[in-house]
Amino acid sequence: MSVLAAAFRRKCGICASSREHRPLMYHAMEIRTFVRIAKGASMDAASRKNSSPNVVCLISNELLAFEFGIAYEVFGLPRPDFGNDWYRFGCGAVRPGTIRSSGGLPVYVQHGLESLDDADLIVIPGWPDVDSPVERCVVEAVRRAHLRGARIASLCSGVVVLAEAGLLDHGSATTHWRFIDNIARRFPLVTFDPNVLYVDRGAVLTSAGSAAGIDLCIHIVRQDFGVERANIVARGLIMPPHREGGQSQLISQPVPRAYEATRIGAVVERMRQNLGANHPVEELAQLAGMSLRTFQRRFEELTGFPPGAWLMRERLRLACDLLEHATEHGLEEIASLSGFGSLPTMRHHFRKALKTSPRSYRRVFQQASPFPVAPAKGAARATRLQA
């Protein structure tokens, strides 16, 4: 039984250095649960295979309206075009009944923590108090769900629940950059990264604040139902079809100073007008009248990307727009017009950045571009695409 207990503790992220000492009886109860679940695992997996994934939002004593809205919009909104092959959605509150929301409206939640018992995916849409311990009943419910194989995703401050349960120990996670310092001090066994949109560790997933929660939810849809479904959902949200989890949460200087807009704006416009060129960074710095290091730093501060990465995104923008609207152009011609040079090169970058092929993208997106390019002048056109 000691071997089984060790396996269980590794599964739940519970170790000798865990923040709380728990009674032996509690461990024994969990071990018995582990044995029971292990015996029925194959049967449960077979029965779930033919059913829609069950998503349950874990609601605290206060509902954070924006984060909950993200989860509902992605997983709960009826999508008749998908038929029955989509998520089921529900909520489970720490204390069922009428609770307040962050906007001041009363919200009634019918079910309690028992709703988590049959969830395939639990979403924690924020947590109102990041400085106080999470209630024991919540921690135990989350651990049990993790133990039986449910995925658990936190949006923004909801990460404190996963951290309190020990499910993030000895690994990386993220949350809103405003909270990271305080939360990191509470949970020293977790490595918090303030520079990413989300972290996917398989069974546990964490996102940064605000719109990064949408990115994580779209990422989950992509895993569960594929690229085309994820793209359709993203399009309905007026979102890019895919933003990498490693993309930075914020730009240190989103609004350029006037003199920088003039100098770097000219460089940006030249790059955009000739997307097929290599644009060595030394030449770009010379054109801007800056030293190489200063130019690289200023360019990334203003756009959020190094020059090479920004250029690749612009090529993708143009290719997406042409694939959607320029039906008279073949794929080879679009690859040339957008600066990729060849179809294999364009295909490679589409798969790397958007997790789909140009042909599939054209088939899915026929109405409007997820990368809208609005007319603008100077460095204002270089503003980083940010939801």
Of the pLDDT bands very low, low, confident and very high (cuts 50, 70, 90), residue 1 is very low
Q: Percent of the chain scored above 70 by pLDDT?
A: 75
Of the pLDDT bands very low, low, confident and very high (cuts 50, 70, 90), residue 245 is low
Q: Which residue has the higher pLDDT, 296 or 14?
A: 296
At 283, list the tokens: 């030449």
pTM of the entire structure?
0.60
Strands, E assignment, 60-171:
62-63, 88-93, 97-101, 106-109, 121-125, 151-155
Give tens-digit pLDDT for 59-78. 999 999 999 999 999 999 99
Give tens-digit pLDDT for 289-339. 999 999 988 888 777 789 999 899 889 988 988 888 778 889 999 999 999
Predicted local confidence at residue 241, as pLDDT: 60
Counting beta carbons within 10 angstroms of the beta carbon of residue 95, is it exposed (0 to 12), middle (13 to 18) or buried (19 or more)? middle
Predicted local confidence at residue 326, as pLDDT: 78
Rg of the chain, C-alpha, whole Å: 24
| Beta bridge partner(s), residue 192 | 173
Q: What are the C-alpha distances in Å from 269 to residues 61, 187, 289?
A: 51, 46, 15
Helix (H) / strand (E) containing 139: helix 136-147
Predicted local confidence at residue 11, as pLDDT: 41
Residues 6+ apart with CB under 8 A from 163: 173, 183, 186, 187, 190
Predicted local confidence at residue 227, as pLDDT: 79
Q: Percent of the chain scored above 90 by pLDDT?
A: 50
Give tens-digit pLDDT for 332-372. 999 999 999 999 999 999 998 887 899 988 887 654 444 44
Dihedral sign computed on CA atoms, order 157, 158, 162, 164: positive
Predicted local confidence at residue 235, as pLDDT: 81
Give tens-digit pLDDT for 259-283. 455 678 788 888 888 888 889 999 9
Q: Any idea what DSSP says for residue 330?
A: -
Least confident of 11-25, 77-91, 180-194, 352-366: 11-25
Residue pair 378/266 in contact (Cβ under 8 Å)? The answer is: yes
**For range 201-212, the mean pLDDT:** 92
